[in-house]
Structure 1
Amino acid sequence: MATEVNMPKLGLSMKEGTVGKWLKNEGDAVKKGEALLEVMTDKIANKLDAPADGILLKIVANKKAKLPVGGLLGVIGSAGEDIGELLKRAAAVKAAPAAKQAETKVVAKAAAAQPGARVKISPAARALAEANGIDYTVLAGTGPEGRIVREDIEQAIASQSAAVDERAAIESIPYEGMRQAIGENMASSWAAAPKVTHHIGVDLTNLQSLRATINADVKDNEKVSVTDLLVKAVARALETHPRINSTLSGDEIRVLKDINIGVAIAIPDGLVVPVVRNANHKNLTDVSREIKDFAKRARKNKLETEEMAGGTFTVTNLGGYGSVEYFTPIINPPEAAILGVGRTVEKPVVVAGQIAVRPIMGLSFAFDHRLIDGAPAAEFLATLIKLIEQPYRIFIQ
């Protein structure tokens, strides 16, 4: 009996996914649990395993196809098995919403053709259009009552980029999947949030000393990192300044109860931000182990979508590259702020009236000015600096 391969629900908020690439061809033998294809969401690429043994009889959704959760991706069965009826049923289910969408487009085009007509567009679609120079007033929306939605803008961007650049290139990298998701999310954030960035150098002497003490009798694979300590320091500072731990929801600024710190991790195909949940309530050892586990599984593409959801603040550390001191990190929506960490450099500073050479780490704190004003942001940063320069404060109430 044939087995359907359907679009999985990879997260509570997931409504659709995009086919990345098939790892098997039609006619190939597959085994249950064997990687069959890649499915992309707006946060991560997931490898989907075969649900049964058999032959991949039919690939229904090809690369770049977008399907709702439960949509038919392909069919596994026995050699020569008749799957005609199964494909007909799938086609009928797909045709119903397609017909409705076509009808909506006709109505939307008529509305768009009326000079002076009010353009209905979602906030996310508007931000993406403005970030990419798309004139949305001439587009036909496919949303309810002709509303222009994000997918309409994405299609317009794709059409705008369709012209082939004939210049010589040493490599052509498809702008799709995770790379495209990162690009669109960052463009949307940059366009929507009026951001301000505070830059400051912080003395790392005492934090480095504390770290050395903690790691003195610890195995190499259990040593805590500067990032681990910074995550704890940020969580502590957010307890003191809860308004920084907020999000904009419609016409409300919601100050969030949970302090969930996202930690940006670079991987070969892009960037992922797994979340340390309730970081303020976890001890340093648990935070360190969790971040190490995230990093290990991120490089193997084994993170779950839910592990990258629900963040309230992000820390992104470029210090290890040794080339960046200060930068402008892009806020990870729907969060209100992000901390960028630069390299640590030995610099002469004045300490108790005397010149001394100290390790100074660059911090870049970017925040959404719709939610956070400059003074509260400066107060948060002052608290964070005190916690870093007097790190014993991180662990006392």
Structure 2
Amino acid sequence: MSAVVRHRDTRHKYSVVTYVLHTAARVLAAHPEANSAIRGRRFPRVARYPSANGKFTLDRTMNGRRIVLSTVLPDLQKASLADIQRQVDHFRDSDPETMPEFASARLLQRLPWPLGGLMFRLGVRPLARRGATFGTFAVTSLGHRPVDAFYSVGGTTITLGVGRITERPVVREAALEIAPLMHLSFTFDHRVIDGAEAADVLAELKHALENFEGDE
């Protein structure tokens, strides 16, 4: 499912991804059923997490290959916008070839694919620590490309996809005007939450982003 979000004028102080991470963490803190993970097929188990840990993705080059890297920002339900932006900037502006945070990713990339894939699955398999190692929700953005909407499955119960911001015609109070709008896509694991809960989370996220009241 997706929502169209009216873009707010951030004056480039904070990125859209930062607003989405900040707001999604607070919405999910109010929906613990969605801030969770599942493991197992025949006898599935669901774990709910007290902290909203946001995974976000980065388009990077490592060992001469263009890859998508991800990192987890913990306890975002308590973090300020400025704190989240500092973390986002740290990962966006640093070199993944030398960052200690990506040492495991560099090791996995050097391993043969079957072995690297096995080690990754073993690392994120335990439910007790999956929220910390893999995040409890994911945010991925293609806003820097000519992409309006896309639907990504990030391995978490909920994945939010951020599209580009463009001027579009909208109707407000029976009048037509032009406004900057953004498509926000929302994919979810139906084994963990149903469509009604997912719709509630997306609706609250849209409302919170458009009527942001926070620690700017």
The alignment's TM-score, normalised by the length of structure 1, stands at 0.43
Aligned to 2:135: 311
Q: Which letter maps to 1:259?
A: A
Aligned to 1:19: none
* Residue 310 of structure 1: how far off its partner (Å): 3.8
* Residue 300 of structure 1: how far off its partner (Å): 3.6
How does 1:1-397 map onto structure 2 within 5 Å? 198-204=1-7, 207-208=8-9, 211-212=10-11, 223-250=13-40, 251-268=44-61, 269-305=66-102, 309-321=133-145, 323-332=146-155, 335-392=156-213, 394-395=214-215
* Residue 224 of structure 1: how far off its partner (Å): 1.9
> Residues 343-379 of structure 1, C-alpha deviation per residue, up to 9 Å, x if partnerless?
1111111112211111110111011111121111010
SS in 1 for 2:22: helix
SS in 2 for 1:329: coil
Paired with 1:279 and 1:382, the residues of 2 have a C-alpha distance of 20
Q: Which letter maps to 1:375?
A: A
Identity within the alignment, %:
31
Greater Rg over alpha carbons, structure: 1
Paired with 1:298 and 1:388, the residues of 2 have a C-alpha distance of 31
Greater per-residue strand proportion: 2
Q: Which letter maps to 1:247?
A: A
Alignment check: 8 A CA contact 1:341 1:362 kept: yes
Paired with 2:151 and 2:95, the residues of 1 have a C-alpha distance of 24
* Residue 299 of structure 1: how far off its partner (Å): 4.1
> Residues 260-287 of structure 1, C-alpha deviation per residue, up to 9 Å, x if partnerless?
0011111022011111110111111111
Q: Which letter maps to 2:69?
A: V
Alignment check: 8 A CA contact 1:294 1:303 kept: no
Alignment check: 8 A CA contact 1:297 1:303 kept: no
Q: 1:256 to 1:298 in 2, by over 3 A?
A: farther
Q: Which letter maps to 1:230?
A: V
The alignment's TM-score, normalised by the length of structure 2, stands at 0.78
Unaligned runs of 5+ in 1: 1-197, 216-222
* Residue 228 of structure 1: how far off its partner (Å): 1.1
* Residue 303 of structure 1: how far off its partner (Å): 4.4
Paired with 1:277 and 1:284, the residues of 2 have a C-alpha distance of 14
Paired with 1:325 and 1:231, the residues of 2 have a C-alpha distance of 19
Paired with 2:181 and 2:172, the residues of 1 have a C-alpha distance of 13
Q: Which letter maps to 1:201?
A: V
Q: Which letter maps to 1:313?
A: F
Q: Which letter maps to 1:330?
A: V
Q: Which letter maps to 1:304?
A: E
Alignment check: 8 A CA contact 1:199 1:363 kept: yes
SS in 1 for 2:94: helix
Q: Which letter maps to 1:324?
A: V
Alignment check: 8 A CA contact 2:2 2:185 kept: yes
Q: 1:345 to 1:369 in 2, by over 3 A?
A: same
> Residues 213-234 of structure 1, C-alpha deviation per residue, up to 9 Å, x if partnerless?
xx6xxxxxxx321111111011
Unaligned runs of 5+ in 2: 106-131
Higher RCO (CA 8 Å, separation ≥ 6 residues): 2
SS in 2 for 1:267: strand
